[in-house]
Amino acid sequence: MLNPRGPVPLYVQVAEQIQQDITAGQLQPGQLAPSEAQIVARWGVARITARKAIAVLRERGLVHTVRGRGTFVGPEGTPHNPKSTKAASIAAELAEEIRAGRYERDVPLPSETMLAQRFDVAKGTIRAAVAILREQGWAYTVPMRGTYATDPARWPKG
Amino acid sequence: MLNPRGPVPLYVQVAEQIQQDITAGQLQPGQLAPSEAQIVARWGVARITARKAIAVLRERGLVHTVRGRGTFVGPEGTPHNPKSTKAASIAAELAEEIRAGRYERDVPLPSETMLAQRFDVAKGTIRAAVAILREQGWAYTVPMRGTYATDPARWPKG
DNA sequence: GCTCATTTGTCCGTATGTATC
DNA sequence: TGATACATACGGACAAATGAG
Nucleotides of strand C under 7 angstroms from a protein beta carbon: 1-3, 6-12, 14-15, 21
Q: How many CB atoms lie within 10 A of CB A107?
A: 10
CA distance linking residue B26 with residue A84, whole number of Å: 44
Nucleotides of strand D under 7 angstroms from a protein beta carbon: 4-21
A52 pLDDT above the threshold of 90: yes
B47 pLDDT above the threshold of 90: yes
Is the C-beta atom of B46 closer than 7 angstroms to strand C? Answer: no
Residue B149 (CA) to nucleotide C5 (C1'), in angstroms, measures 35
pTM: 0.68
Q: What pLDDT, on a 0 to 100 scale, did the predictor assign at position A158?
A: 53
Residue B96 (CA) to nucleotide D5 (C1'), in angstroms, measures 49
Residue B68 (CA) to nucleotide C18 (C1'), in angstroms, measures 31
Q: Which of these, B86, B3, B69, lies nearest to B32 by C-alpha position? A: B69
Residues 20-39 of A with CB under 7 A from strand C: 35-38
Buried b (16+ CB within 10 A) or exposed e, B47-75: eebbebbbebbbeeebbbeeeeebbbbbe
B23 pLDDT above the threshold of 80: yes
Residues 64-103 of B with CB under 7 A from strand C: 65, 67-71
Q: Which of these, B138, B52, B132, B137, lies nearest to B103 by C-alpha position? A: B138
pLDDT > 90: percent of chain B: 35
SS3 of B146, please? strand
CA distance linking residue A61 with residue A73, whole number of Å: 9
Residue B77 (CA) to nucleotide D4 (C1'), in angstroms, measures 33
B142 pLDDT above the threshold of 90: no
**CB-based contact B129:B87 (threshold 8 Å):** yes
Over the stretch B90-101, which tens digit does the pLDDT of each residue have? Answer: 777 788 888 888
**Residue nearest C12, CA–C1′ metric:** B67
Is the C-beta atom of A145 closer than 7 angstroms to strand C? Answer: no
**Closest nucleotide to the alpha carbon of A66, via C1':** C8
Helix axes B123-136 and B112-119, enclosed angle (nearest 10): 110
CA distance linking residue B113 with residue A115, whole number of Å: 25
